[in-house]
């Protein structure tokens, strides 16, 4: 039966700058345009059949290892819903520059127009923030179809950012980002990102970021692509949680559990028993043990379902990421 796995790095080049903060955290070398690491990934970059997939230390693709014994890795209930798909992608993201204003299709839209199983609801857990770093999330006021088309046509970055809610964040803060909600991650943020296992972005702000409008719309064209964007105003307070306290703390609102869950674990001088089940753990500070693995800041650990309940102990802080918990939105196999 599989045991806990310490995961090798899996840096992913993207169109925006970043990477040094991930390199420092993980103790590895990355280029300046490798701003993401995909952790325990069985997901590929949009339009590619290999880039994005995680490998174990022996060179095997994690996707293939899970497929060979999915119930041991994921559990029978999960396999009944999703097959051998973990239904989760965890990333480290280092914003070396502000990302463009963009959004992600939800599940129904993605299945209809892009032929994918999942949409791209996501969540951000801030683990480091430079002074003044901020996020922009969701429209402050409702935007008409014409207004959204104008944003695309005029490519006025200042106007687009001004229409979104600015959020000042600090290390430990968490934000839930439903699919469709437009957003921009600001420069100087290092985050752990949980998301549905897909790689689809509609770049409302595309000039200087995408090669062309075909790339910005995922090949759908603007009339179709803009239908995936949520034009309603949002209430940020329902999506944001400030840094929690305690040995174990839920980081995300209940609505997120249809897509993923995240806990902050900080056992300090005691020990914390983690519930059984598939989990991806990122150690963001300190050192200690997770089950029989000695870990320290920057470690990425995969816990299979077959491991049962495991214990975290020591002077460490870790983010425990898990697949969907509820039956609300995520598709069945």
Q: Per-residue pLDDT tens for 181-235? A: 999 999 999 999 999 999 999 999 999 998 899 999 999 999 999 999 999 999 9
Last residue of a domain, one of 205, 220, 241: 241
* Region of residue 40 (phi > 0: left; psi between -120 and 50: alpha; otherwise: beta): left
The reply to whether 131 falls in a domain is: yes
Q: What is the mean pLDDT of the chain?
A: 94
Encode pLDDT of 222-271 as tens digits. 999 999 999 999 999 999 988 888 899 999 999 999 999 999 999 987 89
Average pLDDT over residues 99-104: 98
| Kind and range of the H or E run holding 146 | helix 145-154
Q: Which residues form the domain of 157?
A: 8-241
Distance CA 128, CA 171 (A): 5
Residues 66 and 202 both lie in one domain: yes
Tell me what percent of the residues of the chain surpass a pLDDT of 70. Answer: 97
User: In the chain, what are the helix, strand and coil shares in percent, each to the nearest 5?
Assistant: 20, 30, 45
What's the pLDDT at 333? 39
Indicate if 88 and 216 belong to the same structural domain.
yes
Domain assignment of residue 127, yes or no: yes
The verdict on 218 and 253 lying in the same domain is no
Closest CA to 157 of 228, 208, 210: 208
Instruction: Judge whether residue 328 has pLDDT over 70.
Output: no
DSSP state of 101: S
**Residue range 302-320: mean pLDDT, rounded:** 96
Mean pLDDT confidence for 65-74: 98
1 vs 213: CA distance, rounded Å: 48
Among 241, 271, 296, the domain-final residue is 241
Are residues 64 and 33 part of one domain?
yes
**Are 133 and 205 within one domain?**
yes
Q: Report which of 246, 243, 290, 296 is spatially closest to residue 268, judged by C-alpha positions.
A: 246
Tell me whether residue 332 is in a domain. no
Task: Output the six-digit token pair for 165.
Answer: 């809610």
> In this structure, are 127 and 269 located in the same domain?
no
Residues 15 and 118 in one domain: yes
**pLDDT reading at 326 higher than 70:** no
Number of domains forming the structure of the chain? 2
Q: Is residue 333 part of a domain?
A: no
Domain of 183: which CATH number?
A: 2.60.120.10
> What number is the average pLDDT over the span 286-292?
96
Contact call for residues 128 and 21 (beta carbons, < 8 A): yes
Q: Domain for residue 330, yes or no?
A: no
């Amino acid at each position: 039966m599989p045991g806990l796995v310490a995961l090798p790095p899996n840096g992913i080049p993207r169109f925006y700058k970043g990477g040094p903060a991930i390199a420092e955290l993980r103790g590895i070398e990355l280029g300046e345009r490798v701003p993401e690491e995909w952790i325990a990934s069985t997901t590929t970059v949009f339009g590619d059949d290999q880039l994005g997939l995680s490998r174990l230390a022996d060179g095997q693709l994690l996707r293939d290892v899970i497929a060979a014994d999915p119930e041991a890795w994921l559990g029978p209930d999960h396999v009944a819903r999703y097959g051998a798909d973990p239904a989760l992608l965890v990333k480290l993201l280092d914003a070396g520059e502000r990302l463009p204003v963009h959004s992600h299709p939800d599940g129904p839209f993605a299945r209809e127009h892009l032929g994918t199983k999942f949409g791209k609801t996501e969540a951000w857990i801030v683990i480091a923030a430079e002074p003044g770093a901020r996020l922009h999330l969701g429209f402050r006021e409702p935007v008409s179809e014409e207004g959204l088309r104008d944003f695309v046509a005029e490519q006025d970055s200042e106007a687009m950012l001004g229409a979104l809610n600015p959020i000042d964040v600090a290390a430990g803060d968490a934000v839930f980002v439903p699919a469709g909600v437009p957003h921009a991650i600001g420069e100087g943020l290092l985050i752990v990102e949980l998301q549905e296992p897909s790689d689809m972005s509609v770049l409302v702000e595309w000039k200087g970021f995408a090669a062309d409008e075909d790339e910005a719309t995922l090949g759908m064209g603007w009339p179709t692509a803009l239908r995936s964007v949520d034009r309603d105003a949002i209430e940020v307070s329902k999506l944001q949680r400030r840094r929690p306290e305690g040995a174990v703390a839920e980081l995300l609102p209940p609505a997120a559990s249809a897509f993923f869950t995240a806990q902050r674990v900080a056992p300090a001088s005691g020990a914390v028993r983690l519930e059984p089940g598939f989990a991806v753990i990122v150690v963001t500070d300190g050192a200690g043990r997770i089950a029989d693995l000695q870990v320290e800041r920057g470690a990425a650990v995969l816990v299979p379902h077959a491991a049962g309940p495991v214990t975290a102990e020591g002077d460490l802080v870790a983010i425990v990421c898990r697949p969907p918990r509820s039956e609300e939105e995520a598709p069945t196999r």
